[in-house]
């Protein structure tokens, strides 16, 4: 049904505005009725009572005044509904933002950023018409006809009955047809979004399609997909428009019935022309609110569909804070504390196989621990748990004596510097991009960090130096420069724990080599956990943890592992050139 309780509950806090909107709508209707009364009085006077312009001039002036008043009322009604819309949009976006923050980055990555952005901006916009047009109209569609009935009944009960009998037919049919159409429509929404996804897909893949000589086929397919969508949609609309047809036909036919019925009674002289004219003028107004409800029906549907998308995000289970113990606030960090991982397992929601399967390891303080394994071995999952982006399915992580669950996320992260696999640069200037890792850092500190990351010279050579803007996802910077900015962030953060994820995966060797050198300088006196699939970068780690399919297979340093002659050695020999 189009009246959604959850949605309506968003009006809370702006109920007064909502009722003012309805009240003003009703007042505007009263002026409409008065105008109709005046008009019939004027015409009746001139037509049947031989009145002159002078006789009716006062009435015409009042009519003009009422017309002005009506337009003022309508404008004020819209004025309030604009302010209601502002309120609602803000509160929806606020809720969504809070939710996005609490869902956490990992869950968000599986959804597409584009989709979430769309829901947050366009989706919320689509609620506008639901709240400003559809919802008030729901109330007005009941109230205005009642108001008109109050005027019409004393004049002519027969017309009143025609009104009363026809009025329920309209919502009834609208509901019946509407609910069928709604079901069909939902399916249609899916087809629509699938069709849009297909179109975006082929647009993005044009180069590939060209390389495979497939563009002509795709052109045909776009046409075919769009047209089959058109035919399917029209089949839905055929039904959906029936409700409009019923509405229109009921309204016009009852006007016709009333006209004929009144006309005949006028003919036999048992009815006054003035009343007849009034009823004729007001009859379309009686059905107008239904018609307007019909036109805003689509907006209502769209709003509901958009709300469903919004709700999908709102009901998403919060995976980072679902099982947290009481937080320490006065947690004292000691660099000499090992991180002990006990029987840690993790399964991604909706998957069967464990991404991490009963892992127990210790990360020694002030040592370099390397995670080694093929893709899918669980290295990144482990790092994400340590970064507290996800919570383990079972098992525990201890920082010395403290269960990690009992340490506040923010406190924990404050002690970590992190070099992600694909660092993101924000569309801000370089200074702010580095300073993100330490909010209160002075410019001098930022420059110092940039120097250590060997990016200072590059930044200084730019026109606006540290104030240089960065384009979409760092478009104006090369891959190496982006990694260096991330490195500068880590230097600036200067935290005792350092988590590194697959450094410099696809840079050219000379650049990669230089960046790695600059990164190693950061390692001294820190507890380092580093992931790499390039084995040559971690051969000299203090401890190597070899993982396979979510399990820890071997541990030890390079020499020990070579002696073991196990999986590690096999992995290494894959890297034929080196050994």
Partner 1 sequence: MIKVFFRIVSLGKEYKYWMLLAALIGFLTVGSGIGLMMTSSYLIAKAALQTPIYQLQVAIVGVRFFGISRGVFRYLERYISHNVTFKLLAKFRVWFFTALVPIVPSKTIDLTSGDLLTRSIEDIESIEHIFVRVISPPFIFVATAILMFALLNIFSITYAILFIILFTGSAFAIPYLTFLLSNKIGKKIVLLKSQLKEFTVDSLQGISELIFYGQKDSWENEFNKIQDQLINAEYRMNNIKSLHESLTGLAMNLTVAMMLLIAIPDVVTGALNGVYLSVISIGIMAAFESVAQIPQAFQYLSKSTEAGKRLFDIVDTHKNEDEINLTESAITGYNLRLENISFTYDTNNNALSNISFRINEGERVAIVGASGAGKSTLVNILTKLWDYNTGNIFIGNENYKVLSSTNIRNIISVVPQKVQLFTGTIKENLLIAKDGVTDSELMRVLSEVGLDSLINSLPDKLNTNIGELGQKLSGGESKRLTIARALLRNSPIIIFDEATSHVDNLTEKKILETIKELPATKSVIFITHRLNQMDMFDNIIVLSNGRIVESGTHTELLAKGNFYKKLIDSQNQNITLLS
What is the sign of the dihedral through the CA atoms of 256, 258, 261 and 263?
Answer: negative
| Segment lying near partner 1 (by CB under 8 A), choices 5-13, 107-115, 158-166, 549-557 | 107-115
**How many other C-beta atoms lie within 10 A of the C-beta of residue 313?**
19
Interface with partner 1, residue 333, by CB under 8 A: no
Which pair of tokens denotes residue 59? 């009435």
Distance from C-alpha of 279 to C-alpha of 259, rounded to nearest angstrom: 9
Give the pair of three-digit tokens for residue 369: 């621990």
Q: Does 158 bind partner 1 (CB under 8 A)?
A: no
Closest separation in Å from C-beta 248 to partner 1: 4
Between 97 and 325, whose beta carbon lies closer to partner 1?
97
Q: Which lies closer to partner 1 via its Cβ, residue 2 or residue 103?
A: 103
Pairing of strands 416-419, 402-403: unpaired
Among residues 440, 493, 428, the alpha carbon closest in space to that of 466 is found at 428
Q: Which is nearer to partner 1, 9 or 50 (CB)?
A: 50
Per DSSP, what are the bridge partners of residue 397? 341
**574 touches partner 1 by CB under 8 A:** yes
Contact present, 372 and 571 (Cβ < 8 Å): yes
Q: Which stretch binds partner 1 (CB under 8 A): 192-200, 309-317, 334-342, 441-449?
A: 192-200
Residue of 143, 436, 553, 562 that binds partner 1 (CB under 8 A): 436
Indicate whether 520 belongs to the interface with partner 1 (CB under 8 A): yes
Choose between 114 and 401: whose C-beta lies nearer to partner 1. Answer: 114
Q: Pairing state of beta strands 402-403 and 394-399? A: antiparallel
DSSP 8-state secondary structure symbol assigned to residue 49: S
Q: Which stretch binds partner 1 (CB under 8 A): 146-154, 177-185, 305-313, 410-418?
A: 410-418
**Residue from 541, 544, 552, 561 in contact with partner 1 (CB under 8 A):** 541
Q: Which is nearer to partner 1, 171 or 205 (CB)?
A: 205
C-alpha 494/C-alpha 522 separation (Å) is 8
Where in 284-323 is the site for partner 1 (CB under 8 A)?
Answer: 284
Binding window for partner 1 (CB under 8 A); candidates: 154-162, 216-224, 324-332, 336-344: 216-224
Which CB sits closer to partner 1, 342 or 562?
Answer: 562
Within 373-392, the residues that bind partner 1 by CB under 8 A are 374-376, 387, 389
Residue 164's CB: how many other CB atoms inside 10 A? 14
The enclosing H or E element of 543 equals: strand 543-548
How far is Cα 548 from Cα 376, in angstroms, rounded to an integer? 8
Please identify which residue in 11, 21, 42, 529 interacts with partner 1, judged by CB under 8 A.
42
Spatial separation of the C-alpha atoms in residues 445 and 443, rounded to whole Å: 5
Asked if 213 interacts with partner 1 (CB under 8 A), we say yes
- Residue nearer to partner 1 on the CB measure, 108 or 142: 108
Report d(CA 496, CA 574) in Å as an integer: 34
The site string for partner 1 over 50-89 (x = CB under 8 A, - otherwise) reads: x-xx--x---x--xx-xxx-xxx-xx-xxx-xxx-xx--x
Count of chain residues binding partner 1 (CB under 8 A): 158
546 binding partner 1? (CB under 8 A): no
| Residue 229 binding partner 1, by CB under 8 A | yes
Q: Is 120 in the site for partner 1 (CB under 8 A)?
A: yes
Sheet containing 402-403: order of strands:
356-363, 339-346, 394-399, 402-403
Q: How far apart are CA 527 and CA 496, in angstroms?
A: 6
Site string for partner 1, 236-265 (x = CB under 8 A): -xx--xx-xx--xx--xx-xxx-xx-xxx-
């Amino acid at each position: 049904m189009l009246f959604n309780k959850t949605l309506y509950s968003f009006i809370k806090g702006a109920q007064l505005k909502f009722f003012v909107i309805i009240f003003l709508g009703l007042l505007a209707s009263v002026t409409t009725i008065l105008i109709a009364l005046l008009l019939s009085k004027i015409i009746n006077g001139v037509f049947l009572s031989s009145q002159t312009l002078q006789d009716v001039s006062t009435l015409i002036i009042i009519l003009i005044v009422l017309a002005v008043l009506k337009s003022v009322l309508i404008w004020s009604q819209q004025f309030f509904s604009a302010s209601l819309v502002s309120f609602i949009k803000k509160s929806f976006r606020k809720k969504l933002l809070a939710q996005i923050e609490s869902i956490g980055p990992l869950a968000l990555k599986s959804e597409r950023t584009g989709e979430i952005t769309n829901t947050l901006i366009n989706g919320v916009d689509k609620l506008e018409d639901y709240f400003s047009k559809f919802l008030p109209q729901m109330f007005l569609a009941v109230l205005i006809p009642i108001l008109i009935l109050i005027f019409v009944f004393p004049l002519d009960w027969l017309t009143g009955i025609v009104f009363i009998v026809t009025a329920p037919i309209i919502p009834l049919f609208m509901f019946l047809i509407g609910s069928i159409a709604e079901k069909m429509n939902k399916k249609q929404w899916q087809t629509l979004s699938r069709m849009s996804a297909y179109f975006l897909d082929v647009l993005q893949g044009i180069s590939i399609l060209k390389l495979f000589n497939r563009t002509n086929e795709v052109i045909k397919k776009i046409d075919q997909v769009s047209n089959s969508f058109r035919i399917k949609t029209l089949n839905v609309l055929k039904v959906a428009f029936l409700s409009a047809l019923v509405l229109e036909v009921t309204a016009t036919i009852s006007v016709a019935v009333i006209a004929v019925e009144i006309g005949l009674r006028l003919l036999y002289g048992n009815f006054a022309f003035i009343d007849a004219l009034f009823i004729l003028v007001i009859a379309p107004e009686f059905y107008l609110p239904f018609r307007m409800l019909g036109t805003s029906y689509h907006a209502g549907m769209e709003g509901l569909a958009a709300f469903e998308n919004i709700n999908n995000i709102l009901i998403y289970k919060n995976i980072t804070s679902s099982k947290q113990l009481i937080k320490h606030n006065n947690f004292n960090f000691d660099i000499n504390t090992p991180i002990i991982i006990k029987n840690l397992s993790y399964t991604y929601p909706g998957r069967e196989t464990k991404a991490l399967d009963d892992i127990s390891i210790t990360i020694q303080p002030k040592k370099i621990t390397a995670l080694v394994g093929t893709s899918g071995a669980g290295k990144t999952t482990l790092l994400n748990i340590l970064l507290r982006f996800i919570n383990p399915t079972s098992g525990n992580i201890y920082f010395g004596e403290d269960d990690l669950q009992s340490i506040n996320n923010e406190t924990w992260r404050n002690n970590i510097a992190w070099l992600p696999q694909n660092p993101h640069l924000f569309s801000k200037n370089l200074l702010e991009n580095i300073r993100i890792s330490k909010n209160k850092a002075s410019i001098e500190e930022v420059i110092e960090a940039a120097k250590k990351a060997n990016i200072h010279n590059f930044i200084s050579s730019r026109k606006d130096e540290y104030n240089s803007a960065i384009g979409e996802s760092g478009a104006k910077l090369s891959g190496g420069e982006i990694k260096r900015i991330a490195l500068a962030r880590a230097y600036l953060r200067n935290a005792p724990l350092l988590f590194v994820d697959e450094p410099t995966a696809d840079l050219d060797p000379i650049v990669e080599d230089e960046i790695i050198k600059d990164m190693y300088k950061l390692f001294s006196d820190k507890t380092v956990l580093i992931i790499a699939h390039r084995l040559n970068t971690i051969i000299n780690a203090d401890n190597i943890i070899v993982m396979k399919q979510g399990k820890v297979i071997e541990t030890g340093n390079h020499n020990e592992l070579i002696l073991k002659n196990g999986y590690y050695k096999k992995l290494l020999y894959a890297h034929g050139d080196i050994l």
